[in-house]
Amino acid sequence: MSTGIKDKVAIIGMGCTKFGERWDAGAEDLMVEAFEEAIADAGIEKNQIQAAWLSDCFEEIHIGKSALPLSLTLRLPNIPATRVENFCASGTEAFRGAVYAVASGACDIALALGVEKLKDIGYGGLPNSGSNSGSLNWLWMPNMTAPGAFAQLATAYAAKYKYSIDDLKRVLAHVSVKSHANGALNPKAHLRTPITEDQAISSPMVAHPLGLYDCCGVSDGAAAAIVTTPEIAKKLGKKDLVTVKALQLALSNGEEVQFNEWDSTYFVSTTKASVVAYKEAGIKDPRKELSMMELHDCFSITELITYEDLGISPRGGAPKDVLDGFYDLKGGGVPAQVDGGLKCFGHPIGASGLRMLYEMYLQLHGRADQRQLKDPKLGLTHNLGGFPFMNVVSIAIVGKEGV
């Protein structure tokens, strides 16, 4: 019988580049930048790493299909290295590979590194996703855009829970204002300018009712984690360990898009994955037990709905929690996007899941500077890749050992 991952693996080192328009750096430079911070933090030698995982989403740009760029760039000691990709969950997928390898006893120390270059590909947005996802886009939804798809969540949510669009836009503006305020405190964030709710509400429309400030940034960046067993970590002199409490992955099976039961106001995969993750971590009441979250806020409406899918807010009740400040950095019950989130830290796809874990790791070690929360014990990260009706969701829960 499976026993889960709880407390079987410890994170001993993490690194993250500054995210943004990194015209100064190629993917290899970003990998080195994140890795050097991670291995210095871990306090180990490179030859102690026994296996590695590399994540990026658009392999056609800079990286290629194998993990050779990781091994060559870092001069890894001829160890196994594997490239993984799972849409926006790619970074957490790399982390999952490293964690499972250590937990299984296949290796003692493993590396997960995610990287993405999106700004110097010929234009400022994401490349044509049809080239990456094949029939998923070209045959199923050739005219679909990400803002358009997620905007439909907002109108469906407003209709189901009887919010006017203007009232919902005020709620979404608070979501974005909160993330911009947090990002302004983060020297590694892409967007560091605070905004007002009036600015968010009156910003140029992207896909009704989502405006400019409802959409996350497109960035370059890399992040890395080094993991081992708690026993080895302690032999290395590590104290106050941050351990993995749960790692779960859930993918759509087609029911959302092929049947009429799904009403576009929630994510099936998030709901499924969270239930299993809480059980694995031994969490009974996430609203009371979680200290902080990093959610996949590709759009402000995604963050709002995820509050409910994770069982933090009741169905239809997330707007009240948002306006009450429950997810704010200062005084919030479960602060969300404490580093600025995708919205402001940025979204280099292959690195995002590891970037989220980086913030949880800093917070749990008391190293988050102006963003530091008081005595956090458990943190949750959530990635959602794909579209509302067809997606992959990953959830990781990390925390202080013994919690």
Q: Looking at the annotation, which residues are catalytic?
A: 88, 347
Q: How far apart are the first and last CA of the chain?
A: 23
Element (H, E) at 227: strand 221-228
Element (H, E) at 288: helix 286-289
Distance from C-alpha of 31 to C-alpha of 29, rounded to nearest angstrom: 5
Element (H, E) at 354: helix 349-364
Cβ burial, residue 188 (10 Å; 0-12/13-18/19+): buried
Q: Residues with Cβ < 8 Å from 71, sequence gap 6 or more?
A: 52, 78, 79, 81
Distance from C-alpha of 152 to C-alpha of 141, rounded to nearest angstrom: 14
What phi, psi does 245 have (nearest 5°)? -100, -30
Q: Which two tokens stand for residue 321?
A: 């929690």
The beta-strand segments (E) located in 49-199 are 51-55, 81-84, 109-116
Q: Residues with Cβ < 8 Å from 164, sequence gap 6 or more?
A: 158
Of 67, 11, 15, which is closest to residue 36 (Cα–Cα)?
15
Place of tokens 């889960």: 4
Element (H, E) at 391: strand 390-400
Of 118, 89, 58, 130, which is closest to residue 391 (Cα–Cα)?
89
Q: Which two tokens stand for residue 89?
A: 């969950």
C-beta of residue 54 within 8 angstroms of C-beta of residue 94? yes
C-beta of residue 54 within 8 angstroms of C-beta of residue 114? yes
Collapse the DSSP code of 205 into the 3-class scheme (helix H, G, I; strand E, B; otherwise coil) and give the result: strand
